[in-house]
A and B are shown apart, each in its own frame.
Chain A
Amino acid sequence: MKLTIYGSRDFWAGLMLIGFGVLAVLIARDYPFGTTLRMGPGYFPSVLGGLLILGGLWVVVKGLRSGEQIEGSWSLRALIVVPLSLVLFGFLMERAGFIPALAVLILGSAAAGTEFNFVEVALLTLFLVALCVVVFIWGLGLPYPLFAEF
């Protein structure tokens, strides 16, 4: 088996930790650090950021030594489509209303899967939208317009 740094799980895991740590320390520099007696708002985050960098370095070294690879398969389509349909839901809630937003979300996330049957998904969307209107709008009384006025 060919081991590469590109597939090394802990190498990337460590880099991510270091990234978050550096970000935290850099941003926290803008806040008063204070003293140990009177800790300023920058104190705690700086310490945490430092800890993250240390932990990240440890994990990177471990990754380079063990060479353990990232496991399992993953779907780029799901990674893009699922969050995107959530974003569309948020965007449409104020502009188009509850039903269009929800329908887009359900259709969108269903399209992220590998097995996509149009008739089945259409029926599922109808069923779920109806269920949500009954439960959330009529039952729990959430104050959202079903369709926004244009």
Chain B
Amino acid sequence: MDLFDNLLFGFGVAFSLQNLIYCFIGVLLGTLIGVLPGIGPLATIAMLLPLTFNVGPVAALIMLAGIYYGAQYGGSTTAILVNLPGETSAVVTCIDGHQMARQGRAGPALAIAAIGSFFAGTVGTLLIALFGPPLAEMALKFASPEYFSLMLMGLVAAAVLAQGDMVKSLAMVVLGLLLGIVGSDVNTGIPRFSFGMAELTDGIGFIVIAVGVFAVGEIVTNLGEPTERRFLTAKIATLFPTREDLRRSLWPILRGTGIGAFFGVLPGTGPAIASFSSYMVEKKLAADPSRFGRGAIEGVAGPESANNADAQCKFIPMLTLGLPASGVMALMLGALTIQGIQPGPQVMTQKPDLFWGLVASMWIGNLMLVVLNLPLIGVWVRLLKVPYRLLFPAIMAFSAIGIYSVNNSPFEIYLTAAFGILGFLWIKLGFSPAPLLLGFVLGPMMEENLRRAMLTSHGNAAVFVTRPLSLAFIVATVLILLVMIAPAVRRRRDAITD
């Protein structure tokens, strides 16, 4: 069968010594930043992107992906042990996970979280392998109207489903699209929005915006908040869940995986929404809902599986359509572009080693995480005691060196500082910056496809609704907007994300 041949080929790629090492570094770093609050996968990946220039696209992507899903694992460890969610996706895990820890059952909670995550990761990997090729094949038939409509749908969905005010998220997408325009116009060569600066005619560096907003902007914001730290480290007696634990967790893990996979392919829904939904479902289905909040193992098993399935399935639209479903995926696309690979459906046929190697490495990475996490839990917990005041100067140093190493240009450092200030302002004014990144990545492609579509249709805008696939995307976009404007859905969404 094709699937098995492909997967075998992928494992062949992923099992090379170099790729295994990069996978290991990735998941190790991911766990580390997952444990540490105040630094997330977005900032870390942005910071490390420039350093992956020399290692080749396969190893680079394998490492960056490892950071991403490793962070989901690390986040849940601290949620259970010290009631401190390292990542937003682990917020729900705190509720029952930490209660279990206080009852002396930290070990089984951690073990179930790891088992659930591993299972969800395995399913996620299989889903990518199953649905990737047909999706990519379909996408190969796309012409510019389809691409434009698809990107429109992706951007609108990402903005609408993201946390916070809908209009403000859409505005961030538009602002991102505008930032993407800076530089020479492809068709005429006219430098646009360059303010007469030669450095800007090549456009704004992707890493400059990512590091500026997500590392520097975050740091400035964090330094303004009062510091608060508490330690209530639980002891771990045994790691092994009882037979009863396993029996109770089986269905939540399966359901959580399904829920996570569903939200995973939707653009804009972070892992937090997947894990919250799973928690709600488990609580509704439970014979005795009052156990939730008092250390119900279902409340750990479901959400932990959901957030990992979500994280894995986010790769499906990114790898097959070249469409980022989240800020991290926008960074991955940026990494591909930097490596000279044009993202899109052709990646799978032109670079099969990249696609299948990455898919296989994710399964290996998930396995490494289980091995890495359970025996080393003590080490991770001790890391929590590193105070933020020692951490953020290090982040600044790595960020600055990373950006400078791209073009050896002080100008890009100045620009990063400016985006740091803007990022701070955006956060304070209640904008979520992730949609900006999506707009920025897709901006040039979107304009290009719009212009081409209008040219080939002789200026007839109806081309977007007369071609069936394009029409489908437009209808979906309108539906998403309508559904989200409906008051009932908005209330429920706010209740989930609050």
Which residues on the A side are within 8 Å of B51 (C-beta)? 140
Chain B nearest CB from A44 CB (Å) reads 5
Is B139 close to A, CB under 8 A? no
Q: Tell me whether A79 and B220 are in contact (CB under 8 A).
A: yes
Q: Are A31 and B190 in contact (CB under 8 A)?
A: yes
Give Cα A30 to B187, complex, Å. Answer: 16
Pairwise interchain contact A89-B447, C-beta atoms closer than 8 A: no
Residues of A within 8 A of B461 (CB): 36
* Pair B175/A17 contact, Cβ less than 8 Å: yes
With most chain A CB atoms within 10 A of its CB, the pick from B216, B400, B418, B451 is: B400
B17 contacts chain A at the CB level, 8 A cutoff: no
State how many angstroms separate the Cβ of B321 from the closest Cβ of chain A: 22
A45-B181, A52-B175 given; A16·B425 CB < 8 A: yes
Residues of A within 8 Å of B411, CB to CB, are 90
The docked-state distance in angstroms from the alpha carbon of A55 to that of B170 is 8
Q: Are A90 and B410 in contact (CB under 8 A)?
A: yes
Q: Cα distance A20–B175 when bound, in Å?
A: 8
Q: Mark A33-63, 1 if CB is under 8 A from B, else 0.
A: 0011111110111001101100110110010
Contact A136:B401 (CB < 8 A) given known A82-B420, A128-B394: yes
A113 is contacted by which of B174, B389, B421 (Cβ under 8 Å)?
Answer: B389
CB distance from A87 to the nearest CB of B (A): 5
Q: Which residue of B lies closest to A94 (CB)?
A: B410
- Do the beta carbons of B223 and A112 come within 8 Å of each other? yes
Number of A-B contacts defined by CB within 8 Å:
191
Known contacts A37-B454, A38-B455, A82-B223, A110 near B389 by CB under 8 Å: yes
| Interface residues as binary, B390-428 with A (CB distance below 8 Å gives 1, 0 otherwise) | 101110111011001100001111101110110011001
With A13-B430, A41-B185 as contacts: A73 and B171 at CB distance below 8 Å: no
- With both chains docked as a complex, state the minimum distance between the C-beta of A116 and any C-beta of chain B, in angstroms: 8
Q: Does A146 contact B (CB under 8 A)?
A: no
Expressed in whole angstroms, the Cα–Cα distance for A135 and B429 within the complex equals 38
Chain A, Cβ-Cβ closest to B185: A41
> Are B429 and A13 in contact, with the CB atoms below 8 A?
yes
Q: Is the CB of A89 within 8 A of B188?
A: no
Whether the Cβ atoms of A41 and B224 lie closer than 8 Å is no
Would you call B340 an interface residue if the criterion is a C-beta within 8 Å of the partner chain's C-beta atoms?
no
Q: Contacts of B424 on A, CB cut-off 8 Å?
A: 74, 79
Interface SS, B side:
helix
What 1/0 mask marks residues of chain B from 164 to 197 whose CB sits below 8 Å from any chain A CB? 0101101100110110010001011010110000
**Chain B: CB-nearest residue to A89:** B400
B413 to chain A: which residues have CB within 8 Å? 86-87, 89-90, 93
Q: In the bound complex, how far is the Cα of B193 from the Cα of A41, in angstroms?
A: 11
Known: A86-B417, A90-B413. A9 touches B193 (CB 8 A): no
| Top 4 A-B residue pairs of the complex, sorted by shortest distance between their CB atoms | A37-B459, A90-B413, A74-B224, A90-B410
Which residues of A approach B to under 8 Å, CB–CB?
9-10, 12-13, 16-17, 20, 24, 27-28, 31-32, 35-41, 43-45, 48-49, 51-52, 55-56, 58-59, 62, 70, 72-75, 77-79, 82-87, 89-91, 93-94, 102, 105-106, 109-110, 112-115, 120-121, 124-125, 128, 132, 136, 140, 142
Interface CB pairs A-B, < 8 A, 27? A10-B168, A13-B429, A13-B430, A17-B171, A38-B455, A39-B451, A41-B192, A45-B192, A45-B193, A48-B177, A51-B174, A52-B178, A55-B171, A73-B224, A78-B223, A82-B216, A86-B416, A86-B417, A93-B413, A102-B397, A105-B397, A110-B393, A113-B388, A115-B389, A121-B393, A124-B393, A142-B401
